[in-house]
Structure 1
Amino acid sequence: MKLLLRLVISTLAVLVGAHLIPGVSVESFTTAIIVAIVLGILNTFLKPVLQILALPITILTLGLFYFVVNVFIIYLASFLVDGFYISNFFSALLFGLVVSVVSALLGMFLD
């Protein structure tokens, strides 16, 4: 049941991010669900590997390269899911921040 609630929260966060950030579009609610699932899978399996590989650059940039890894994950999700479009780097960066904040705020009610 908690997994389903997390999926709903992630989907709502994707929809809010797409609505607030210019340059990000999600065609439908079904697409937002798929984006939430794909982002969850990529963040679970690929992101830790990328963070370990990028650790030297992340240390040199005082942690700012972490945002680049996050943007790469969002771009990859955009490539994998039809109906989810990101126009530029800055839009992907803001989208990632909005999705994280909205997910955290809505997730507080879950715990």
Structure 2
Amino acid sequence: MTAILASFILAILNMLVRPILLLLTLPINILTLGLFTFVVNALMLELTTYFMGYSFSIDGFGTALILAAIMAFANMIINSVLFDNKSRR
């Protein structure tokens, strides 16, 4: 139940807060060729931890950054499997 609630809170934060943060950090994101997006994703995970309280915790920002990279990699794999454009030609 905690994981479902945490994913719901993360989805809400990604819909409302993440676009604003990405817009505000656009110059840094351009300078780092998009790698600063991992930092924004880690901030979203930290905010999720803050709103969940003691039932869900991430040890620190470094752990959140590694988790954000793992989530991005998993998202890339899932999107390539589900939405393969080469097979539709």
Large movers: runs of 4+ above 6 Å: none
Among all aligned residue pairs of Structure 1 and Structure 2, give the percentage whose two residues are the same amino acid. Answer: 38
Give, as a single letter, the amino acid of the residue that structure 2 aligns with 1:94: I
Which residue of structure 1 lines up, in the alignment, with residue 56 of structure 2?
Answer: 84
The alpha carbon displacement at 1:59 in A equals: 1.1
Q: Which has the higher contact order (CA 8 A, sep 6+)?
A: 1
- Return the alpha-carbon distance in structure 2 between the equivalents of residues 62 and 104 of structure 1: 21
- Return the alpha-carbon distance in structure 1 between the equivalents of residues 27 and 75 of structure 2: 30
The alpha carbon displacement at 1:105 in A equals: 2.5
RMSD of the TM alignment (CA)?
2.3
Number of aligned residues:
80
2:46 aligned with 1:75, yes or no?
yes
- Return the alpha-carbon distance in structure 2 between the equivalents of residues 76 and 56 of structure 1: 23
Residue ranges of structure 2 left out of the alignment (5+ in a row): 83-89
2:57 aligned with 1:98, yes or no?
no
2:22 aligned with 1:51, yes or no?
yes
Pick the structure with greater CA Rg. Answer: 2
- Return the alpha-carbon distance in structure 2 between the equivalents of residues 32 and 61 of structure 1: 32
Q: Secondary structure at 1:85's aligned position in 2?
A: coil
Q: Which is strand-richer, 1 or 2?
A: 1
- Return the alpha-carbon distance in structure 1 between the equivalents of residues 57 and 5 of structure 2: 13
TM-score normalised over the length of structure 2: 0.76
The alpha carbon displacement at 1:97 in A equals: 2.9
